[in-house]
Structure 1
């Protein structure tokens, strides 16, 4: 069996894999984690390279053994139980994350985060910083990604520039997190409109329970981003409840804050593009993961949270 040090040899920020599994059994066999699918004539085993995996989402019809959970925890892999297609079955439900139980993680980041978190004015400063970094990332990615540009997503598009400049100006003037959330929602709504126009998606309305491909892909891709965000926070030892933007009553709200760094930039355009191209769920998921890796989304999340934690001490 692989030693614990071998399983954690690849830094989480450099890991490439997120798995969504359904209608299968996850188990440990001969020192490896496998998932078993039952075909019409025979059972098939598939290996999961856990040392290079950040998150496993278990969808409908799945089961997992205790031995498999123990190995996944040893490798620092988060496990999420979810509905079909990587999203909740019910609109009000959330993925339940099972974090590996390890107390041997850095304390400097949670201490830095808490040094500002209990001060409302400082928390607002960090929330604004988070939103500016989100805008910078979108401008950087849309400014160089040729595939996105082929579908009409440009950082210097007049409508995009107008939306981003307006949001950037209002960030500075925003008096509260509530106001910041309002203008952030307006930005995303504008980006939906821009994406719908670029892909000629007529009559699009954002509906989390919508059955059209664009809405389904947005839900699916967002939960992939939530998996990366949950991994980032677990590795850095910051509890999910210490959010700076989202609801104070939601235990996992910081996951949403961190995921927002990349959702509009990567998930949003590809959801519309893949819907236009009539891609299936698996093809969309592969495109999302490829885009996450190409633009170092996980690295960006790690760097952002680490820097904000350390900068928080100086506020």
Structure 2
């Protein structure tokens, strides 16, 4: 049988793709028209090479962790299939790319410009107007809360672990946020309101999972102090950033046209879009998995399953498209 190329494969919409891969201690390569990763194993004191296929047509993001390498031929096929690639540290964090900006997100995106123009044009039609940009930020924050309410209302596993949207603490926090969000007159007020809500959600989650004296550490754990909740939050957030970057790349909107995070911050719009799902999914599962002393792999499997169950990528696409196309009129 002749080798297949990515262009021969049936196209799967990015919002419907099922796979996000985190790989470590392996070599990613192209072989016989497929993208594989090679690992080494020892059997009967003999070294064996094990090859595993990566279904690139059904993959959105690949994170390459410790001890990984990738060939030029594999990158070419991944690019043709529209797969985003990022290099990261062990366990998925931190994300390393071609810059040294703290917390910056820069993904290696396929260099195809044959993407829709309507969403970029719609985004730019309001982006240069400060008031309209503020309104877009408010829309993202409103959509963020709507997603949290939807997920926590229907997810039985979250409810069993105490994450119930009808809890008085959550209701009060969301009501305060909604009021302040609608009244915000500038971006700094919007960011302050967002920070206050996130702090309240952290406190609720920490109390709910008996995680005493929790303090958010974006750099993760140190060798002297291991805090799985922080590690899982960082890990899950980077997965959310991958979905956000995929959404923006497919829709043809550059990462620099942020509506909340800083104008000069690299990948700022990725952070804005990732906010849509982080509180609803990453936050509760990070604390639950930490309480259960889960491994990095177990947490990753859980959070990716949650992304799939609640159609997180679909929600990102729908929200960005709605904002881009609704902002044409004054």
**TM-score relative to the length of structure 1:** 0.97
Distance of aligned partners of 1:95 and 1:171 in 2 relative to their CA distance in 1, 3 Å threshold: closer
Instruction: Please give the alpha-carbon distance, in whole angstroms, between the structure 2 residues aligned to 1:88 and 1:277.
Output: 23
- 1:302 and 2:317 matched: yes
CA displacement, residues 105-145 of structure 1 (integer Å, 9 cap, x when unaligned) = 10000000000000001000110011001101101110110
Shift of 1:102: 0.8
Q: Is the 8 A contact 2:105 2:266 kept in 1?
A: no
Distance of aligned partners of 1:140 and 1:93 in 2 relative to their CA distance in 1, 3 Å threshold: closer
- 1:128 and 2:138 matched: yes
The answer for the alignment partner of 1:181 in structure 2 is: 191
Task: Select 2:253's aligned residue among 226, 238, 241.
Answer: 238
Shift of 1:89: 6.9
Distance of aligned partners of 1:225 and 1:89 in 2 relative to their CA distance in 1, 3 Å threshold: closer
What 5-or-longer segments of structure 2 have no aligned partner? 222-226
Shift of 1:42: 1.3
Q: Secondary structure at the match of 2:154?
A: coil
Higher mean C-alpha displacement, 13-22 vs 82-91: 82-91
- 1:33 and 2:35 matched: yes
The number of residues matched between the two structures is 315
Distance of aligned partners of 1:224 and 1:198 in 2 relative to their CA distance in 1, 3 Å threshold: same
**TM-score relative to the length of structure 2:** 0.93
Q: Secondary structure at the match of 1:98?
A: coil
Task: Select 1:198's aligned residue among 193, 196, 208.
Answer: 208
Q: Is the 8 A contact 2:5 2:33 kept in 1?
A: no
- 1:19 and 2:49 matched: no
- 1:272 and 2:287 matched: yes
What 5-or-longer segments of structure 1 have no aligned partner? none
Task: Select 2:107's aligned residue among 83, 97, 100.
Answer: 97
Q: Secondary structure at the match of 1:63?
A: strand
Higher mean C-alpha displacement, 84-93 vs 248-257: 84-93
Cα RMSD (Å) of the superposition? 1.3
- 1:213 and 2:228 matched: yes
Instruction: Please give the alpha-carbon distance, in whole angstroms, between the structure 2 residues aligned to 1:6 and 1:201.
Output: 50
Shift of 1:227: 0.3
Q: Is the 8 A contact 1:7 1:50 kept in 2?
A: no
- 1:70 and 2:85 matched: no
- 1:46 and 2:52 matched: yes
Task: Select 1:293's aligned residue among 299, 308, 325.
Answer: 308
Q: Secondary structure at the match of 1:46?
A: strand
Q: Is the 8 A contact 1:112 1:309 kept in 2?
A: yes
Shift of 1:197: 1.2
Higher mean C-alpha displacement, 119-128 vs 31-40: 31-40
Q: Is the 8 A contact 2:229 2:286 kept in 1?
A: yes
Q: Secondary structure at the match of 2:29?
A: strand
